[in-house]
């Protein structure tokens, strides 16, 4: 009940931040705001999770579709991703159309969508799904095959990816392998980022070793090379896979940073939870990493340069209070960029044992997220508990 009360008190937290797909902090901000009745925040949650909307929220999702369809253009890849997520929220029957939209969005440079097509939406041709969905997915696959044969690289990349889901039991067949593996090789040579990312994953995957005759599966050096190329072409999965296969924390961190900047949720969480930086890190190296997009480096630098005290409750003079407020404002910027620890720092800086601060509580909630899941900041959870302790109990 305290959580609910905390959310209700958040009604007075001030203007709501524009929420971006793929930012873990923004998902929890949306969770917070949705509980207050913010329709856009509820839509954001549905778009992020691709969960069937509740009976109450499904009409809101359906009502949003016309505007999202109008906004989804070649120059607005995120709008296409939101449209795809909303379609999935309305009905799993829309999963085929959603996959196509995610693929288009990925190819247009919206990295978060690349994560969606890296692992095909789980309902496409999944066992036990309704026959109508399976028929639509099969029809879509056949259409992609025809378009690919006509020279459409986009269709070829999608067909190769979906083939693993559509014809899983036939992967050993040479005709099947020609599609799910060999079709990707010339596409990657043509700089199709999705193809390079998928090919790099396959080449480095032990799961496909039994099916490797006539392929380069098991060639780990080539896998890194392909993933690196995909990363250079802007695909976050390529950056993430390169980081995983790279020796040396600092170099791996650089690739995780690229993956995070391109929209890889897990890469952002790794940078938050397992940073290589600390207060003894060289200032110039921290600044360089921060400018490259590593928010964990920015966070470490800000903490190292924090004024003392950096909290309003410990400030005595007006100058100290101004410095603490400035620190909170700086940390808020990092928080909204996706740094869960920075969210906790804002909550801590603004905490008052007497007067409840809704803004600080909201950001601490976002930094804590789900404390049982990877990516949650333990300090933010502690600060959130302190805010909850100020609330009345039943």
Q: Rounded mean pLDDT of 24-43?
A: 90
pLDDT in tens, 74-97: 999 999 999 999 998 888 778 889
Residue for token pair 């890194």? 224
Ranking 159-173, 209-223, 278-292, 352-366 by mean pLDDT, the lowest is 159-173
pLDDT in tens, 118-154: 766 554 544 555 567 777 778 888 999 999 999 999 9
∠ CA 87-90-91, rounded to 5°: 90
Please tell me the predicted confidence (pLDDT) of residue 125.
47
Closest residue by Cα to residue 321 from 341, 343, 350: 350
Residue 323 in contact with residue 355, Cβ under 8 Å? Answer: no
Tally Cβ neighbours within 10 Å of residue 120: 21
Averaged confidence pLDDT in the chain: 87
Per-residue confidence band for 13, with pLDDT thresholds at 50, 70 and 90:
very low
Tally Cβ neighbours within 10 Å of residue 277: 24
Q: Rounded mean pLDDT of 154-183?
A: 84
pTM: 0.86
Residue 158 in contact with residue 124, Cβ under 8 Å? Answer: no
| C-alpha to C-alpha distance for 377 and 368, rounded to whole angstroms | 5
Per-residue confidence band for 265, with pLDDT thresholds at 50, 70 and 90:
confident
Q: Which residue has the higher pLDDT, 167 or 289?
A: 289
- Name the token pair of 333: 């910027």
Please tell me the predicted confidence (pLDDT) of residue 308.
81
> 131-138: long-range contacts (C-beta < 8 A, 24 or more apart)?
132/93, 133/92, 133/93, 133/95, 133/96, 136/93, 136/96, 137/95, 137/96, 137/162, 137/166, 138/166
């Amino acid at each position: 009940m305290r959580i609910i009360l905390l959310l209700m008190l958040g009604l007075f937290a001030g203007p709501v931040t524009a929420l971006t797909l793929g930012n873990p902090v923004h998902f929890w901000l949306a969770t917070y705001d949705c509980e207050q009745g913010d329709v856009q925040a509820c839509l954001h949650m549905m778009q992020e999770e691709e969960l069937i909307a509740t009976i109450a929220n499904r009409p809101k999702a359906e009502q949003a579709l016309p505007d999202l369809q109008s906004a989804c253009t070649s120059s607005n890849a995120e709008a296409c991703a939101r449209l795809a997520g909303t379609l999935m929220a309305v009905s799993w029957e829309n999963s085929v159309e959603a996959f196509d939209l995610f693929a288009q969005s990925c190819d247009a440079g919206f990295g978060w969508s690349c994560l969606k097509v890296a692992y095909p939406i789980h309902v496409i041709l999944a066992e036990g799904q309704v026959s109508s969905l399976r028929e639509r997915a099969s029809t879509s696959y056949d259409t992609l095959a025809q378009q690919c044969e006509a020279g459409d690289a986009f269709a070829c990349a999608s067909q190769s990816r979906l083939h693993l889901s559509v014809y899983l039991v036939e992967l050993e067949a040479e005709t099947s392998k020609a599609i799910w593996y060999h079709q990707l090789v010339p596409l990657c040579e043509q700089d199709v980022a999705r193809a390079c990312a998928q090919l790099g994953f396959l080449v480095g995957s032990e799961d496909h070793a039994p099916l490797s005759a006539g392929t380069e599966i098991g060639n780990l050096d080539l896998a890194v090379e392909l993933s690196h190329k995909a990363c250079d072409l802007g695909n976050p999965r390529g950056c993430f896979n390169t980081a995983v296969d790279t020796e040396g924390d600092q170099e791996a961190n650089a690739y995780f940073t690229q993956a995070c900047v391109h929209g890889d949720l897990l890469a952002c969480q790794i940078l938050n939870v397992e940073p290589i930086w600390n207060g003894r890190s060289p200032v110039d190296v921290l600044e360089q990493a921060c400018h490259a997009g590593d928010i964990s480096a920015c966070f470490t630098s800000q903490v190292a340069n924090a004024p003392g005290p950096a909290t309003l409750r410990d400030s005595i003079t007006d100058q100290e209070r101004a410095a603490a407020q400035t620190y909170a404002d700086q940390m808020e910027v990092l928080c909204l960029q996706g740094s869960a620890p920075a969210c906790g720092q804002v909550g801590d800086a603004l905490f008052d044992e007497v007067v409840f601060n809704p803004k600080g509580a909201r950001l601490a909630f976002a930094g804590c997220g789900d404390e049982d899941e990877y990516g949650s900041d333990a300090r933010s959870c502690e600060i959130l508990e302190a805010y909850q302790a100020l609330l009345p109990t039943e």
